[in-house]
Structure 1
Amino acid sequence: MPNWFPFMVLLIPLLAISAGMFRRWLAHQERRLELLAQAGAAEARNAAARIERLEARVAVLDRLATDRGTLLANEIDSLRIPAPADRN
């Protein structure tokens, strides 16, 4: 039967050190993911604000296109010069 004592003497501290390193790596990954989530949330807020501004602009353009269309047509009609009745 082989002597496992020297192997265990080395293995137990190595496992303890490895577990500590793994725990620190996991904490680092968790912090990195939290920062990425915060950056994503900020980007989402910026995108939502941009969409809101664009929707407001589209509403103004829609109102100009629909309301102004009849007024513009009336202005164009009023500017037309009537054709002379007697043209040769």
Structure 2
Amino acid sequence: MDWGSPVFVLAIIALSYSCWLVNNWIRAKNGYALENEWGGTTEKSNTVEAQQLRAENRELLKKLDTMQDRMIVLEKIVTDRGYSLSEEIEALRDKRGDETGSVMSLDFSNKETA
């Protein structure tokens, strides 16, 4: 076998990678922290802290859903009430004008006086 050939280099890379996979499989099976590609470790995600974070996440998602429902109701109140409020104001103006007999119109246009 030629020690300088590309086949030998690829065989060493394949052997190293497969040993790394076996090492991580054994670590995962026994509950140890796993190694990542850069030599750092990754803890198991099923710890007490992770369970607390998941519970908090579920709680926050429920709050977000209720807030979104409340926002929809408030938008309906604001938009519907604004339209009916302007109609009520116009109805009161018409009613007041009928009672006094005359309606005073306000003209705010810019007319130049000579």
CA distance in 2, matches of 1:72, 1:55: 26
2:98 aligned to which of 78, 82, 86:
78
Runs (5+) with no aligned partner, structure 1: 1-18, 83-88
In structure 2, what is the equivalent of residue 37 of structure 1? Answer: 57
Which of the two has greater helix per residue? 1
CA distance in 2, matches of 1:53, 1:32: 32
What's the offset of the Cα at 1:75?
A: 0.9
Flag the structure with more relative contact order, 1 or 2, with Cα contacts below 8 A and sequence separation at least 6: 2
What's the offset of the Cα at 1:73?
A: 0.5
CA distance in 1, matches of 2:75, 2:101: 40
In structure 1, what is the equivalent of residue 78 of structure 2? Answer: 58
CA distance in 2, matches of 1:79, 1:45: 50
Q: For 1:42-64, what per-residue CA distance to the aligned partner results, in whole angstroms no more than 9, with x for missing partners?
A: 00000011111111111122012
Runs (5+) with no aligned partner, structure 2: 1-31, 33-42, 103-114
CA distance in 1, matches of 2:91, 2:70: 31
In structure 2, what is the equivalent of residue 10 of structure 1? Answer: none
Q: TM-score, normalised by structure 1?
A: 0.58
CA distance in 1, matches of 2:76, 2:95: 27
Instruction: Kindly tell me the number of residue pairs found equivalent between the two proteins.
Output: 62
